[in-house]
Amino acid sequence: MEKRILIIDDDADLATSLRDLITIEGYQVTIARNGKVGLDLQGKTPFDLVITDIVMPENDGLEVIISLRCNYPQTKVIAMSGGGYVNSRDYLLMAKELGASMALSKPFEFHLLQSEIRRLLANGGLE
């Protein structure tokens, strides 16, 4: 059975590009434009992995990570950020402290994300 990945990002171009690249790897990928929609989708049929931006409207990525860790602890999480009101490193450190498996600073090399996806979803993704 295909592993399911949810991308939550308000940057439509980036989300679509990531979806296209990840789909080629054989995963089923869904996009949500904000954290509220992403959490609603997760509640209907939980995903194996959530890749979330940090700075976005309607439930930012940190809120998403907190909700996932509380309600779906088995779901793997990768956070990404290009910054915002504070340095993106600060957001990414918070994301890791809240339970993200990996935190990527935008822009990033796709092969880094690709290898982390493979690692997290292989054999239950033991960390």
Please write the tens of the pLDDT for every residue from 88-102: 578 888 899 999 999
- The position carrying tokens 């989708």 is 41
Q: Is the distance from CB of 56 to CB of 46 less than 8 angstroms?
A: no
3-state helix, strand and coil shares in percent for the chain, rounded to the nearest 5:
50, 20, 30
Domain residue limits, the chain:
4-125
Task: Report pLDDT digits (tens) over 7-23.
Answer: 999 999 999 999 999 99
Determine the Cα–Cα distance for residues 47 and 125; give it in Å rounded to an integer.
13
pLDDT confidence of residue 107? 84
Angle, helices 88-98 vs 61-71, to 10°: value is 10
How far is CA 67 from its chain centroid? 13
CATH match for 4-125 among 3.40.50.2000, 3.40.50.2300, 3.30.390.50, 3.60.15.10: 3.40.50.2300
